[in-house]
Every structure is written in C-alpha cells, then in structure tokens.
Structure 1
Amino acid sequence: MTRPVVGIIGNRGLLNGRYPVHEGGQMNSCAVSHVAQCIPLLIPADPAYLSVEELLEVCDGFLLTGGRPNVHPNEYGEEETEKHGTFDRARDAITLPLVRACVERGQPFLGICRGFQEVNVALGGTLHPEIRELPGRMNHRMPPEGTLEEAFALRHKVELTPGGRFARLFGASEVMTNTLHGQGIAEPGPRVVIEGRAEDGTPEAIWVRDAPGFTLAVQWHPEWNAEADPVSRPLFTAFGDAVREWAAGKGQATKVA
C-alpha cells in the first residue's frame, strides 16, 4: 500500500554561494518518512511554479518547516525594519493561503519554527521581530558556534496547558525542547490557541480553534532526533496518523480530540 504524501515546504538557497536551489533539511524528510511513516515530497514554495490548489490535490498533509527568512511584516500590518531580517515573499505567497485552506478543509499540517509563525500570521496574528530584546525574555536564537548537536540541544522547558492537546499527546504538562528562533508570537490570531510557553512566557505550542483537522504547530525544532526524542516522536506519529486519515477519506477529516 502506497504511503500518503506529506508536502515539505522548502526554502530558497544558493549552492556554493552562486547556484539557486530549492532546499530542505534532510532531518525533515527523515522525520516524515521514518516517524510519520509518510512519503516526504519537497515543495518549491513559489507561486511561479505551482498553486495552492494544486498542492492541496497532490499532497495529503504539509510540514511547514523552519527557514532563515522571516514572514514579511506587511502580512500582519507592520512596516519592514532591519530587525525583521530577511524575507521570502514567494514562500509567504504560498504558505499563508495554504494554511488557511488546510484549516477550512481539515487537511492536516504540522508547523515548525517559521511554520509556527506562519500559522499565526495566516490566521490574523502578529510577530515580535526580536524577542530577546523584550523585557524578561531569554535569547532563543541558535548558538553562533558549535556542532549541530550543540545547536539542537535541549535548552529550556515548555509548560503545557494541563489536559490540553499537547499535554495529552506528550503525556506530560512540561517538556524540554531545543530553541533556534529570533522572532515569536506577539498577538495570537483570533482562532489561535496557545497551549505551551517557555519559562520566559514565549509562546511555543499552538493549534487552531474550531478547525476540523490536525493543526498543531511548535516554535521549536522537533525534526531533530525525531525517532528517539520522547517529545518529537509522538508529535510526528500523531501527525502521520492524521495524514493517513485524510488520505483514506480524502476530505472527511476526523477532528483532533
């Protein structure tokens, strides 16, 4: 039996500093294939090559990955500044309407880091351009030096809403996660439910109220060590189960408990 397809939202990059490529981290593909048990399909997130409508038909679910560029502040009604960093307007043009379409259709997605922020912006929320500059906040950015193991090391606790979706999924009200982001949620969208926060109050885990399908998103990077990590594995397993339900019913999604 053919496994369902998860579209992995890719980013733009340069190979050897000069050759334009569409790229995606191998750990995303590994988590989708080995833990979610789905076929990973890297998506060139650019409306010049494909449409949201085509993606919804080709893929059964979507992994909204992290990425160096940020969501453009115009998408949430603010002006661009140096603090907002770099942007990928082509990805904005695909992912934001894709999130809204998935929410309404019940088609599953899992948001990670930038993908977490995309979910909030797509549903009417806003972002802080640099959360480490806010009073009482820690530096959530990736350490500037060190190995990948050091960069993705578990660095802070996330406190979860007791009895909420994430707490039930992880079987705990507190988990340890990595942290590799500069921006964060300022105001949640009207339908965005925050169920996890870091020790400094930064939102870390969300889902979409009244959505018929799987709409979980996290600010950390669960794709790292997804097969062995006690937090990452149940998250990708649940995502894979939701994708299989969608693929089996093709439009008759079961609402997440």
Structure 2
Amino acid sequence: MRIIGIVPGAKLFGSEDLYADQYLFVNGYPKRILANGGTPVGILSSDGYAAEDSLSLCDAFVFCGGARFYPYHFQVMEYAAKSGKPVLGICLGMQMMNTYFLVAEEAERRGWDGPLLALFEQMKKERYMFTEPVDGHWDGHITRDNVDRFKHPIHVTPGSRLERLTGKQTILGASMHNYRITHPARSLTVAGRTDDGTIEALEYGEQMLGVQFHPEADDQNDELFRAIL
C-alpha cells in the first residue's frame, strides 16, 4: 500500500499566541486516499520547514488547498520534482506547483545559483504576479449537502493526461477559490479550463497533476487520487 504524504494548509506566525500556529488537515483528503487504497500520512513542519527524512518515507504527495504558501510547500514541491515522486496538487496546491516551475525557470533565466525559495521571496518583493483575483469561483459556504451547487464544468484539453484519466472532455469540479494563476510555467501543460478561461488543471508529464477545483469534496473524481496510487 503506497504511502501518500498530505501537505496541509496552515495558519502560522500570525500572532504571539503559542497555540495559534496550526496545520489544517481537512478530512476529505485522507478519506479519498484511504478509499482508493492508499495510506495517508501528514507532513508537518517545524517553524515552516519539513523534516527531509519524513519526505523520503512517502511514495507520493497531495498538496491541499489553503490560504497561503509557507516554506514547507516550496520545500516539498522541490523535493518531489527532484525525486520524481508523483504529486496531486489541489487548489493552492496547483498554484504552488505552477509557482515552483515559474521560479525554476526564472532562476535559469537569471543565472541564479542560490536556493529557489530565496528567489521566490525575491520575486514577491519585485511584485511578480503568480496569481490574480477572480470572481464567481467561490459562492457561499460549502456543506456535505450542497457540494453540487459549487460545481462548474471544466473543459478538458484533448490528448491530455486528465482526459486519459477521466475519459471525458468535460468534467464537473467543486470550485472554492478567489485567486487563479496568471499564466502557466513553460514546463507545464494546461489540461483544463472553465468557461471564463480560468486554468483549472495543469500537468507536468506523467509525474504531476494540479487541479484548481476540489476532488476531495466527494467521490466523483476519484481517478485523480488513483493516479498517484
């Protein structure tokens, strides 16, 4: 049984309250991994950085949705890219996937020989726009009973891995995001868009798949989880 590292969202360093620093493991992620034959484990960090030994225990990674990036997001994505381990990036996880490759490409352009995380921080200071606000993709409060109300059609790119996994040209995905990526990294392939042009799926060959929507919300897109198992 493959061990899947869940890379969570978090609320860190926002106050001096000792117990306000928290990791957010939403039940849907381990539920879908278990339902499809995997063993979920949580990836935790200390002061924003994960222990490298914990990453080596995992066969693949799921990057969860969340509000913002922390150093461990970048760290685990870089580890996965270099090790060749599969990734499923969801919502913020897809944005992290795109951000990592944008930064890697910028490092090559600049001849940057330092840590990519440091370049990411530098690009933010330079006001590089990795994402932009988008309207109409998060309307209200999602519950167990109203998931379908949050779904919208995603037009799958012909010939993409996403098309092979789903066997469909259009899929439905639950949307809960206020930001979208501005443009894809050159290393990535766009695998799906919504009617307003928002990129909803990105691929990095057969190794990584990122989706802006939330397949953990129900069991209707389980093939995305099976892809890393």
> Structure 1 length normalisation: TM-score?
0.70
Does the CA-based 8 Å contact 1:100-1:123 persist in structure 2?
A: no
CA displacement 1:199-242 (0-9 Å, x = unmatched): 11000010125xxx52011000001112xx1xx121111221xx
Does the CA-based 8 Å contact 1:46-1:93 persist in structure 2?
A: no
Alignment correspondent of 2:109:
none
Alignment correspondent of 1:233:
222
Does the CA-based 8 Å contact 1:160-1:197 persist in structure 2?
A: yes
> Which amino acid in structure 1 is aligned with residue 27 of structure 2?
Q
User: Which consecutive unaligned segments of at least 5 residues does structure 1 have?
Assistant: 72-91, 133-138, 241-257
Does the CA-based 8 Å contact 2:152-2:174 persist in structure 1?
A: yes
**CA distance in structure 1 between the partners assigned to 2:63 and 2:46 by the alignment:** 14
CA displacement 1:4-57 (0-9 Å, x = unmatched): 21111123359xxx843323011111011112x111112224455633x32331
Distance 1:7 1:144, change over 3 A: same
Alignment correspondent of 2:199:
203
SS of 1:166's equivalent in the other structure is helix
Alignment correspondent of 2:40:
40
User: Which consecutive unaligned segments of at least 5 residues does structure 2 have?
Assistant: 104-128
Aligned-residue identity in percent: 26
What is the CA distance between 1:151 and its match in structure 2?
4.8
Question: Counterparts of 1:216-255 in structure 2 under 5 Å?
Answer: 216-226=209-219, 229=220, 232-240=221-229
RMSD of aligned Cα (Å): 2.2
> Which amino acid in structure 2 is aligned with residue 224 of structure 1?
A
Does the CA-based 8 Å contact 1:152-1:179 persist in structure 2?
A: no
Does the CA-based 8 Å contact 1:47-1:94 persist in structure 2?
A: no
> Which amino acid in structure 2 is aligned with residue 58 of structure 1?
L
Alignment correspondent of 2:134:
131
SS of 1:223's equivalent in the other structure is helix
> Structure 2 length normalisation: TM-score?
0.78
